[in-house]
Structures are given as structure tokens and as C-alpha cells.
Chains A and B, each alone.
Chain A
């Protein structure tokens, strides 16, 4: 395979004349039926344009939410940080309350559902994701 053959293999459309000049390439590629593909007709792939970063939308959306949060916190008389801390503390308090109610049952009560639920979880996790192959 010389350089011309290599160029034809890399870009057959740009080097179409090579096929008439080279018997070896004609023997290899001559029987291959090619059809021009109109890329615009193909459905839009999920990755197309995905890397684009719309910074005005991101910054605008973030600043709008920040402004609303600051205004609401000022109206409620709390700081944004204490609002977030309040939510975290409320979640921890809710979880510990549920834990205090459940703890007296003992570990054996939870052992059977633990094994059953984790068995189902393992079975569900064995399925391969479909996603881009669907």
C-alpha cells in the first residue's frame, strides 16, 4: 500500500480518481457499494451541541434565584445561611425521631427485610443500562 492508497482509504470521496488508477484498490474497494449519507436527515443525537455552555442563562438564572432568596430571607428576618442550616437541622431531627421510634423493635425484625430488599436491589442492579443503545 503506497501513499495514494492510504489517502484513498482515508478519504474515498476526495480521492475517487485513485480507484481507476490502482488495480489493488479496485480489487479491494470496487465491490463495496457506497451511498451518500445526508447527515441533516439523521435524527439529532443526544451529544450534538451538548458541550455548548450557555453562560448568560446560567448566570441569569443563578442571580435571579439568589436575589429572590435574599429578598425572602430579609422579609422572613433570617440569613440565607441560617435558612440552609435550619433545613439540615430539621432533616436530622426528623431522621433521629424516626430512629427513636424504630430502634426498640430490635435488629432481628429488620434483618429479614434487609436481606429481602438488598436481594431485590442486587437483582435490579444486574440489568445492563439501555440508554444510548435503546
Chain B
């Protein structure tokens, strides 16, 4: 019952988000004129350049905190619904908080608050997306048994899984409409798993007060 309610809520939230975020103009899937072809070439160049930045960021973050990325990746694979719901709510919260903070800009306090929110949101998205790269890499290319893992020369370890994930999601990103949708969903999952595991540290966000036993 609770799971069905959660699924219904997630579907409803996804529908609302899709309706709100849907582009108001038609995206051409195949170029008809020379200028459209040039525009599509520029878009692809931008996407692949960004993919290169993502690879560098993913490798650096994985080298710095591989265990945390692995914990977040495990979390999104064991509790995908919770991570997606948390991601949707968190993204909505970022937007609403940003709008409310923007009303404080005339009082000066709004500027540091907005900057802090922006930094936190970007860090959450980047870290979470790298955890999703790891999860996708592990699902697609992860070893299922010890023997298979020991036989492999390249396709093992956190770093390899992350790179496989970046390359796969990056390739999907190049598909005109589907790529954007898949990347957005991956970002929502990423934000969800980053917050669910507190950036892989698996610590509670809120302390619970327990009175001392007499």
C-alpha cells in the first residue's frame, strides 16, 4: 500500500515536472537546411566538450573519494524509488528556495544566500551524477563473480565503472530529444542519492534527541 502510494506520487510528480519543464518550441530531430545542420553540429560539439569536462571531474572525484561514490552508487541501485522521489523533491526545493532568496537581494543578505545555495546545488548535482555514472557502469559492465573479476584486466575497479558510465550516458546525451530526458532523469537520481547518503558518508542529516536513561 505504502509502496503503491509512493509510486503514484512519483508518477504524478514526474508528470507535473515534465509538463512544467517541457520545451515550448519544437526541437528539430533531423536538419532540413544548412543552417540547421550547422546549429546541430555546434550543439554536438558543445555536448562532447562538456562530456570531456565530465570525464575529468568524474575521474578526479573518484580518485579523491572512491568509497563515498561507491556507497552512493549502491544506494541508488538498492533504493531507486526513494532516490528518485528525494531527487525530485530536492530539485523543486532548490528552485523554490532560489526564488525566495532572490526576493532578499535588495537587503544584501540574499546574495550570499543565493551563492551558497547555488554552490550546494551544483556540488550535489556533480557528485550525484558521478555516483550515477558508477551505478550505470556497474550495472552494464560490473563483474558478477570473483573469477570473472580476476580475469579482467581493464573492466574492474571504481574508476573503470565511472568511466564506462560517463561514456554510456554521454553517448545517450547526443541523441537529440531522448538524451536530454535521460540526462535529466539521471540528474534527479543523482541529486537524490547524493542527499540520501549525505554525499556517501551515510550519516544522518538530523540528530535525534534521546533522553538519558535514569
Contact = CB atoms under 8 A, between A and B. Distances in A.
A129 B52 contact: no
A114 interface: yes
A125 B145 CA distance: 34
Interface in A58-93: 58, 61-62, 65-66, 68-69, 72-73, 75-76, 78, 80, 83-84, 86-87
Contacts of B100: 107, 110-111, 114
B75 A129 contact: yes
A3 B92 CA distance: 63
A54 B45 CA distance: 27
Nearest to B66: A50
B51 interface: yes
B38 to A, nearest CB: 7
A100 to B, nearest CB: 11
Contacts of B160: 52, 54, 57-58
B19 to A, nearest CB: 15
Nearest to A72: B45
B159 A110 contact: no
Contact of A83 (B46, B96, B97, B196): B46
A76 B41 CA distance: 6
A49 B197 contact: no
B99 A128 contact: no
Interface in B107-149: 143-147, 149
Contacts of B143: 44, 49
B6 to A, nearest CB: 10
Q: Which of B96, B100, B147, B170 has the largest count of A CB atoms less than 10 A from its CB?
A: B96
B55 A62 contact: yes
B188 interface: no
A131 B202 contact: yes
Interface stretch (A10-18, A22-30, A115-123): A115-123
A33 interface: no
Contacts of A128: 204
A125 B204 CA distance: 8
A65 B51 CA distance: 7
A46 interface: yes
Of A65, A113, A118, most B-chain CB atoms within 10 Å = A65
A125 B49 contact: no
Interface of A: 40, 44, 46-54, 56-58, 61-62, 65-66, 68-69, 72-73, 75-76, 78, 80, 83-84, 86-87, 99, 102-103, 107, 110-111, 113-114, 117-118, 120-122, 124-132, 134
Interface of B: 38, 41-42, 44-46, 48-53, 55-56, 59, 66-67, 70-71, 74-75, 78-79, 82, 85-86, 89-90, 92-93, 96-97, 99-100, 102-103, 143-147, 149-150, 153-160, 163-164, 166-167, 170, 195-197, 202, 204-206
Given A61-B163, A84-B46, 5 more contacts: A48-B146, A76-B41, A114-B93, A131-B71, A131-B75
The 9 closest A-B pairs by CB, nearest first: A52-B157, A72-B45, A54-B160, A83-B49, A134-B78, A69-B48, A131-B75, A76-B45, A57-B154
